[in-house]
């Protein structure tokens, strides 16, 4: 089973850059999308169906053109959970989950901390999603939380580790991500690639992507009971439909 996570920074813009052709070639069983910046009715469902994804689930922000997550599946899930029931998260369309027999997969878009107001919102979200995930694992032990976490965990995950005063690499954010992992999750990419320095996001400024001055902000976090099922985990920097690139994890069941 191949799962891909991709912050597309606007699904309509990504479609104009060949997203559907790439999706057909990559052919994941499930793709988790973040930052759709669209409502479902603004897109043609048939386009995704013809690409091999008849099951499309969207959870958009109340604010038009902002945030939003989606999951596209080749096979119909047993259940789809739209949001978390936590109002502050759900207003912004940040979580959607599909449940299968062997595994449940969530697409999550954790806020960025671009200013003081949003940083406070981000920290609140971090606290709430950690507790939510702990509770969720009591009933769903085989859980994958894919998405844009907007945090680099270790120095190996950022091109310039001196950027400790910037949101995304603040000590408090990194400590939280460590707590999230320690609560029972595996960073699948780092688990399979302990020494690889690869990134999933690059600024549009200063030719950052061409110079590979990036950040690893996107993760496929996998709960401990699935550890032995992880066969591969990797990043796909050649996909260029966004300022992010996709990240993937593959399971054998």
Residues of the chain predicted below pLDDT 70: none
Matching residue, tokens 């680099």 = 152
Q: What is the pLDDT of residues 17-70, one digit of tens each?
A: 999 999 999 999 999 999 999 999 999 999 999 999 999 999 999 999 999 999
**Rounded CA Rg of the chain:** 17
**Catalytic option among 6, 57, 109, 199:** 109
The CATH number that domain 2-251 falls under is: 3.60.10.10
148 is catalytic: yes
In this prediction the pTM is 0.97
The answer to whether the beta carbons of residues 71 and 30 sit under 8 Å apart is yes
pLDDT confidence of residue 114? 84
Domain segments of the chain as ranges: 2-251
Q: Is 160 annotated as a binding residue?
A: no
CA distance 1 to 125: 30
Q: Is 35 annotated as a binding residue?
A: yes
Enter the DSSP assignment of 67: -
Q: Which helix (H) or strand (E) holds 87?
A: helix 87-90
Q: Give how far Cα 69 sits from Cα of 11, 152, 158, 225, 237, Å.
A: 10, 21, 25, 26, 21
Cβ within 8 Å of residue 191, ≥6 positions away: 222, 227, 230, 233
109 is catalytic: yes
């Amino acid at each position: 089973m191949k799962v891909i996570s991709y912050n597309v920074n606007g699904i309509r813009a990504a479609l104009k850059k060949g997203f559907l052709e790439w999706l057909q070639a990559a052919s994941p069983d499930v793709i988790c999308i973040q930052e759709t910046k669209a409502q479902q009715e603004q897109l043609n469902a048939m386009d995704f169906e013809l690409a091999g994804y008849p099951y499309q689930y969207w959870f958009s922000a109340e604010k038009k053109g902002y945030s939003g997550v989606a999951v596209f599946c080749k096979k119909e899930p047993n259940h789809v959970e739209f949001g978390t029931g936590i109002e502050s998260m759900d207003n912004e369309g940040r979580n959607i989950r599909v449940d299968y027999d062997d595994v449940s997969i969530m697409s999550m878009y954790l806020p960025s901390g671009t200013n003081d107001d949003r940083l406070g919102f981000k920290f609140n979200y971090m606290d709430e999603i950690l507790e939510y995930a702990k509770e969720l694992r009591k009933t769903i032990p085989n859980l994958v939380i894919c998405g844009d976490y907007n945090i680099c965990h270790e120095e190996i995950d950022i091109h310039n580790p001196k950027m400790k005063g910037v949101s995304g690499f603040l000590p408090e954010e990194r400590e939280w991500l460590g707590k999230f992992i320690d609560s029972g999750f595996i960073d699948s990419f780092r688990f399979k690639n302990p020494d690889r320095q690869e990134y999933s996001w690059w600024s549009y400024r200063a030719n950052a992507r061409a110079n590979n001055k990036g950040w690893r902000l996107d993760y496929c976090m996998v709960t401990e009971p699935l550890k032995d099922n992880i066969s591969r985990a990797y990043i796909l920097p050649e996909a260029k439909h966004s300022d992010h690139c996709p990240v993937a994890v593959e399971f054998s069941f």
